[in-house]
Amino acid sequence: MTNGDDWEDLSVRVIRALAMDAVRAASSGHCGTAMALAPVAQVLFGRVMTFDPDDPTWADRDRFVLSAGHASILQYSMLHLAGYDLSLDDLRAFRQLGSRTPGHPEVGITPGVEVTTGPLGQGFANAVGLAIAERRLRAQHGADLVDHRVWAIAGDGCLEEGVSHEAASLAGHLGLGRLVCIYDDNHITIDGPTELALDDDPVARFRSYGWQVIDLGEQANDLAAIEAGLRDAVADETRPSLLVVRSHIGFPSPKFTDSKDAHGNPFPPEEIAFTKELMGLDPTASFQVPPEVYEGFRRATDRGRAAHSSWTARVEGAGARGELLLDQLRGDHEAALEQPLTSFAAGEQIATRRAFAACIADSAPLLPELVSGSADLTENTGTQLPGSSAQSAQEPAGSQLHFGVREHAMGSIMTGMALHGGVLPVGGTFFVFSDYMRGAIRVAAISHAPVVYVFTHDSIGVGEDGPTHQPIEQLASLRAMPGLEVFRPADANETAVAWRLALQASGPTALVLSRQNLPVLEETAMNGPEGVPAGAYVLCEVGDGELAAVVVGTGSEVSLALEGARAAAGRVGRIRVVSMPSMERFLARSSTERREVIPLGVPVVSIEAGSTFGWAAISDVAIGIDRFGESAPAGEVFAHLGITADAVSDALIGAVENEG
């Protein structure tokens, strides 16, 4: 028994049937979890959540995250039944090329999907970010204008992944009382029972994180009990809540209930027919939704439409306060973009991480949406906001967020914050530890989430910390990721331009910055504002006569390229020095535009203190590092590994002489 109204009981059975039908039609997917969670979804969408299917992007809607994204057909079925612009034909096209119902939920593809989920645990951490964004906006603009909640469904796999542990710990510390996660405790993974690899106690674990835990036990089919549990969860606004539901995957299929085969396989047609018959549905019909289910949801969602209308009136009635909220939600950063670039004097010695700190400090007063933090490296990464309070349960409007030593969760939480709207998240760590965040960065790129990663200590310049802390392959790795903008500025002036471009980006941006001091080059102040957006530009030319060679550098090696070019010019003739802060931007330009910077017919030498992978598309001779580093003072490591001005000079002379 579901203990619901007649239409709700019928709806639960329809949801289960749609899950079986769609997965069978696709010959691919996960219907078992969707079937088991149909009552939970019914309560969320039919009784508890506030949303307006006529306007899926209404700013004060509740957010729903299906962290167990493999059960996507559950979310798609609910969006269809609740009246979103998602048809039965869309459900029939489940997992097909070009459909709006892909294998895992993707933001921007399906109306009503808030975040892209699939890699287990990512959605859970995204939900923490959504909750941080909601609370901060509410503290900034008032509870009458910002008043919504975040609901998530996570499975055993989500809670096994380490990213969920990191995120849950931070959520408990911050006291995110408007975050409710439903834990689908079905004891089944792809390999079999969870007991094959899992014995921990999630109730005890989440209580230790500072969460309220409500254990419903064997009430996964009781709508009244589920609603009561969710209401109890929202009654405590001082702690995030975990609602534990002991469900049975594949229920009520006689053959596949509690079976690992219900996890990722379509049911045979005869089992689908038999299960439908058990539920009192037509065993011969597919994708059937009785009109009373649609009518029931229409009545249920009228509450959300009324809430939307009331909110619109309150925002309009709030005058300037309402306008400030709407401006922040638009996220165009107009005021900060109109201010002059932060400037640095030529000849000054400054690490690009320190230059970034100056840039963000200049911008912060004009960016009420800015939230900056790091994985326990705030001062080291230049992500501190002078005069700002730290985000906490006591200071929910705080702009400084201490993520702790939780790189993976930091990345995922930033994605949730950005996709919520009204928040610009900046997060910093040492570049080598971008490896810990890579899964989150990838999902942010797929999601087009406008986040800013500040990766400092970007090379063997880390020095004595040695190869575990000296990035080698990370630049090539991140450059290979579609949808991620990667900038490695040559000096403070290029850093200022890169920060400006990050503010204009429609997706994630990585700023890769130096630990060590670098000279501020006179040429970057003159040419950088136009050159950095192009990806690469002519910094200067040294020597006389015909153009003999080009040397290209990035980051801290641009000054070495310039020094080496000056040393070689007297012997080989005129040399062009090119700064390339963004390889991807440069390669995306037309061949004509690229040849204006790096012409055909002359040898090209590149220098970068990292892997030479990818440089073959640009240079004939690549000076780089295709091994791990050494523990020694930075200058000694650069010399030992051949990242020097002398190496540039020798390579230029050799390349020109070989050309001749």
What percent of the chain clears pLDDT 90, i.e. is strictly above it? 98
Q: How many residues appear in the chain?
A: 660
Total-model pTM: 0.97
Q: Which residues contact 54 (CB under 8 A, 6 or more apart)?
A: 83, 305
CA distance 337 to 525: 18
Cβ atoms of 71 and 35 within 8 Å: the answer is no
Cβ atoms of 613 and 465 within 8 Å: the answer is no
Question: Of the candidates 522, 550, 580, which is a domain's last residue?
Answer: 522
CA distance 495 to 352: 6
Mean pLDDT of 363-383: 97
Using pLDDT thresholds of 50, 70 and 90, give the confidence band for residue 3.
Answer: low
Nearest-5° Cα angle at 116, 110 to 117: 120
Q: How many CB atoms lie within 10 A of CB 331?
A: 17
Q: What Å distances lie between residue 37 and 248, 281, 434, CA to CA?
A: 9, 19, 35
Q: Are 167 and 36 found together in one domain?
A: yes
Residue 380's domain comprises 334-522
Q: Is 658 exposed, middle or buried (0-12, 13-18, 19+ CB in 10 A)?
A: exposed
Strand partners, 64: 151
Mean pLDDT of 144-154: 98
Choose the catalytic residue: 106, 114, 161, 407.
407
Catalytic annotation on 295? no
Convert the pLDDT of each residue in 110-137 to its tens digit.
Answer: 999 999 999 999 999 999 999 999 999 9
- The pLDDT of residue 58 is 98
Q: How many CB atoms lie within 10 A of CB 258?
A: 17
Distance of CA 404 to the CA centre of its chain: 18
3-state percent helix, strand, coil for the chain, nearest multiple of 5: 50, 15, 40
Q: Which residues contact 106 (CB under 8 A, 6 or more apart)?
A: 113, 116, 446, 447
Cβ atoms of 179 and 240 within 8 Å: the answer is yes
Q: What is the mean pLDDT of the chain?
A: 97
Q: Are 515 and 549 found together in one domain?
A: no
Whether 318 maps to a domain, the answer reads no
Using pLDDT thresholds of 50, 70 and 90, give the confidence band for residue 1.
Answer: very low
CA distance 495 to 474: 19
Cβ atoms of 601 and 548 within 8 Å: the answer is no
Q: Are 75 and 148 found together in one domain?
A: yes
CA distance 400 to 370: 9
Whether 401 maps to a domain, the answer reads yes
Convert the pLDDT of each residue in 46-70 to its tens digit.
Answer: 999 999 999 999 999 999 999 999 9
Convert the pLDDT of each residue in 260-270 to its tens digit.
Answer: 999 989 999 99
3-state secondary structure of 152: strand
In 580-619 the beta strands, taken as DSSP E runs, fall at: 604-607
Using pLDDT thresholds of 50, 70 and 90, give the confidence band for residue 660.
Answer: low
Q: Is the pLDDT of residue 575 over 70?
A: yes
Whether 327 maps to a domain, the answer reads no
Nearest residue to 416 via CA among 453, 369, 450: 450
- The pLDDT of residue 659 is 79
Give the CATH number, domain containing residue 596: 3.40.50.920
Question: Of the candidates 522, 542, 567, which is a domain's last residue?
Answer: 522
CA distance 52 to 38: 21
Q: Are 578 and 648 found together in one domain?
A: yes
Strand partners, 372: 400, 426
Convert the pLDDT of each residue in 421-480 to its tens digit.
Answer: 999 999 999 999 999 999 999 999 999 999 999 999 999 999 999 999 999 999 999 999
Q: Are 399 and 353 found together in one domain?
A: yes
Q: Are 542 and 627 found together in one domain?
A: yes
Whether 313 maps to a domain, the answer reads no
Q: Are 346 and 471 found together in one domain?
A: yes
Q: What Å distances lie between residue 159 and 121, 167, 275, 317, 634, CA to CA?
A: 7, 10, 30, 43, 41
CA distance 235 to 651: 69
Mean pLDDT of 403-415: 98
What percent of the chain clears pLDDT 70, i.e. is strictly above it? 99
CA distance 236 to 178: 8
CA distance 551 to 651: 9
Give the CATH number, domain containing residue 424: 3.40.50.970
Q: Is 158 exposed, middle or buried (0-12, 13-18, 19+ CB in 10 A)?
A: buried
Q: Are 296 and 340 found together in one domain?
A: no
Question: Of the candidates 256, 291, 307, which is a domain's last residue?
Answer: 307
Query: Residue 454: which H helix or E strand, with range?
Result: strand 452-456
Cβ atoms of 404 and 144 within 8 Å: the answer is no
Q: Is 11 exposed, middle or buried (0-12, 13-18, 19+ CB in 10 A)?
A: buried
CA distance 281 to 462: 66
Convert the pLDDT of each residue in 316-372 to its tens digit.
Answer: 999 999 999 999 999 989 999 999 999 999 999 999 999 999 999 999 999 999 999
- The pLDDT of residue 264 is 87
Cβ atoms of 529 and 341 within 8 Å: the answer is yes
Whether 326 maps to a domain, the answer reads no
Structural domain tally of the chain? 3
CA distance 500 to 386: 19
Nearest residue to 220 via CA among 196, 184, 256: 184
Cβ atoms of 415 and 483 within 8 Å: the answer is no
Using pLDDT thresholds of 50, 70 and 90, give the confidence band for residue 2.
Answer: low
Convert the pLDDT of each residue in 209-242 to its tens digit.
Answer: 999 999 999 999 999 999 999 999 999 999 999 9
Whether 317 maps to a domain, the answer reads no
Convert the pLDDT of each residue in 24-38 to its tens digit.
Answer: 999 999 999 999 999
Q: Are 292 and 351 found together in one domain?
A: no
**Parallel, antiparallel or unpaired: strands 485-487 and 509-512:** parallel
Q: Are 173 and 289 found together in one domain?
A: yes
CA distance 656 to 459: 29
CA distance 74 to 353: 45
Q: Which residues contact 245 (CB under 8 A, 6 or more apart)?
A: 37, 40, 182, 183, 184, 185, 216, 219, 220, 226, 229
Q: Are 152 and 129 found together in one domain?
A: yes
Phi, psi (deg, nearest 5) at residue 604: -125, 130
3-state secondary structure of 575: strand
Q: Are 65 and 99 found together in one domain?
A: yes
